[in-house]
Structure 1
Amino acid sequence: MAVSIVSLLIYLLLKRCTDFPQVELGFGLSYISFFVASVLGKDPLAPLLDQSLPVPDRVAKIAGSPLAQSTACLYISGIR
């Protein structure tokens, strides 16, 4: 919740200082796609918390996951 509030406050500042405040608004509102996926029981970022793997293997596991790829595409489409 705090991320949304901070994001929207930054949006108000960027609205006055830049020509593309909607990009920041998209970042702030599209992160919800990751929360929705985890609420449905399909956490796309769960391998990041796996302490038995080194960090490069965790990132590779996420990059190869179809769930993470589809959630990232949904996130990116919301930024537009």
Structure 2
Amino acid sequence: MEIKIGVQHTPREIVLESGQSAEEVETAVGEALSGGAKVLTLVDERGRKVLVPADRVAYVEIGQPTARRVGFGAL
């Protein structure tokens, strides 16, 4: 699923594809924003960790998983 993270004072957002479920991402974001963790940590599809300081998170957008299309079929 696609996750977009807005960071304060930064013109671009962080976009990553993650194998984590929406509930796992929501729990991690909630814990980071409530002060339980100083850093928001997410893992992308390739196993790389993305770390964002919790006090700099402006917003997090959690998308729905999409199936990738193959071929040249009609839209």
TM-score (norm 1): 0.27
Structure (1/2) with the larger strand percentage: 2
Structure (1/2) with the larger helix percentage: 1
Report which of the two structures shows the higher radius of gyration computed on alpha carbons.
1
